[in-house]
Structure 1
Amino acid sequence: MNKISQKAKLGENVTVGDFTVIQDGVEIGDNVIIGNNVVIHQGSKIGSNIRIDDNTVIGKQPMKAVTSAVSDDKLQPPCEISDGCLIGANTVIYAGCKIGEKCLVADQASIRENVEIGDKTIIGRAVAVENHCSIGSYCKLETNVYITAYSEVEDHCFIAPGVTTSNDNFAGRSEERYDHFKGVTVKEGGRIGAGATILPGKVIEEDGFVAAGSVVTKDVESKKIVAGTPAKEFGNVPEDQLLENQ
């Protein structure tokens, strides 16, 4: 049995699975497939030609822990998902999130409030994108990537499985930390290999490349490869791999 609000607007050819909840003010475009046990929260805007798989939650309002340093308790605007997206099973996409056209958000991913994602980007299985982040277009964030709050990933970036980013150089201690929170910045064409760790505030410049397993403690220069723990310059990105030559 479904619970679909009479104040929701559903377009043509919308298929809704069993035990799904669609709340007041939700707008859904044409040719949308919604799975079983899905919850679409109040006011969420879902475009056309979208698939949302089982047990997914769209437009959830955030929670604020008493000790949270980067969250607030403001009511967020409705979630917006643009045309042509595929949303996997058991994903949670918060209110205050905007997702561009033809993106794929894979199973078990979590995308927080105050996040914008460009067009044709892949958010892989079990990826977590925290609040106050920007992810560009044509990016790939692969399985189990963690993007910390206050991070920016520009267009055409590749982030391999198991990459971890951080935003707190004080590791949760001292009042001073509240003035210095900063995630990572990956500029256009930047790439990060599997299992790498990027420390707070570090910048990977255009076409920079971080080798697998590295720990990045300094900014990465444009078109340079860094490797190791701590990461050190290893060489130049091959010409045939530069974004301009793709």
Structure 2
Amino acid sequence: MGLEKGSNVVIGKDVLFGENVILGNNVIIYSGTKIGSNVIIQDNVVIGKQPTRAKASILPDTKQLPPTIIGSGVTIGTSAIIYANSKIGDEVFVADLATIRERVTVGARTIVGRGVAIENDSKVGKHCKLETNCYITAYSELGDHVFVAPCVVTTNDNYMARSKERYDKFKGVTIKNGGRIGANATILPGKVINEDGTVAAASVVTKDIAKEEIVVGSPARKLRDVPEGQLLRNQE
């Protein structure tokens, strides 16, 4: 099987499709995009969008970025937007209304939930689960098997948009393999959640979290070690 298209689909120049690709209605795919086989792209999806810059932005203007690459077995939900120069691994699921910005990589078999935003220059590993409406700030790095619950907020600007000193100090968060963050938690800029580190719901992380420990509260403090049965290495 080849390409199945809905109504009002716009496909730019030199877009490459694998086998058995299904496009919904009103899909826009920008020039040069590469899409693997057995991919489902639902209504109103935009792939390969070039970023635009606000006049007041402190970030440098970007020229034409390279195309987006979508792996095989990927599903992209209604009204999702995937920017240029992003790479989506095989069997990734991107839910409705998600946004994946430029220069982002998402590893194989990761789930990007409804309304999730992954900002520019971030990296998400394999087998992660990013749940509804969580926010991954720019310049963040998530390892493999990372879990981020609904409405988690990560941040990258300790100066909260004041003073020129901040310009070269933006730093996202790092969540290493097996890290887990509970609902409505907030992670401050540059903080590291080490392997199997776990943040309880509604906590505010103001310092790095050690390997295999559970933290809770505002500011978050160690509660106890992660139970052996919950450690990543002990999962089947």
TM-score (structure 2 length as normaliser): 0.98
What amino acid sits opposite 1:48 in the alignment? S
Alignment partner, residue 152 of structure 2? 163
- 5+ residue gaps, structure 1, are 1-11
Cα distance between partner residues in 2 of 1:80 and 1:64: 22
Residue 74 of structure 1: CA displacement? 2.0
Choose from 46, 52, 55 the match for 2:41. Answer: 52
1:180-224 Cα deviation digits (max 9, x unpaired): 100000000000000100000000000000000000000000000
Matched, 1:230 2:219: yes
Alignment partner, residue 56 of structure 2? 67
1:117-159 Cα deviation digits (max 9, x unpaired): 1100000000000000000000000000100000000001000
Alignment partner, residue 3 of structure 1? none
Residue 71 of structure 1: CA displacement? 5.4
Matched, 1:124 2:120: no
Alignment partner, residue 201 of structure 2? 212
Alignment partner, residue 107 of structure 1? 96
Matched, 1:13 2:2: yes
Runs of 4+ in 1 over 4 A off after TM superposition: none
Identity in percent = 58
- 5+ residue gaps, structure 2, are none
Alignment partner, residue 65 of structure 2? 76
Task: Assess if the C-alpha contact under 8 Å between 1:101 and 1:118 holds in 2.
Answer: yes
Matched, 1:137 2:126: yes
Q: Secondary structure at the match of 2:105?
A: strand
Residue 75 of structure 1: CA displacement? 1.2
Report the aligned-residue RMSD. Answer: 0.8
Task: Assess if the C-alpha contact under 8 Å between 1:122 and 1:138 holds in 2.
Answer: yes
What amino acid sits opposite 2:102 in the alignment? E
Q: Secondary structure at the match of 2:171?
A: coil
Task: Assess if the C-alpha contact under 8 Å between 1:70 and 1:149 holds in 2.
Answer: no
Cα distance between partner residues in 2 of 1:39 and 1:132: 23
Tell me how many residue pairs correspond in the alignment.
Answer: 235
TM-score (structure 1 length as normaliser): 0.94
Residue 52 of structure 1: CA displacement? 0.1
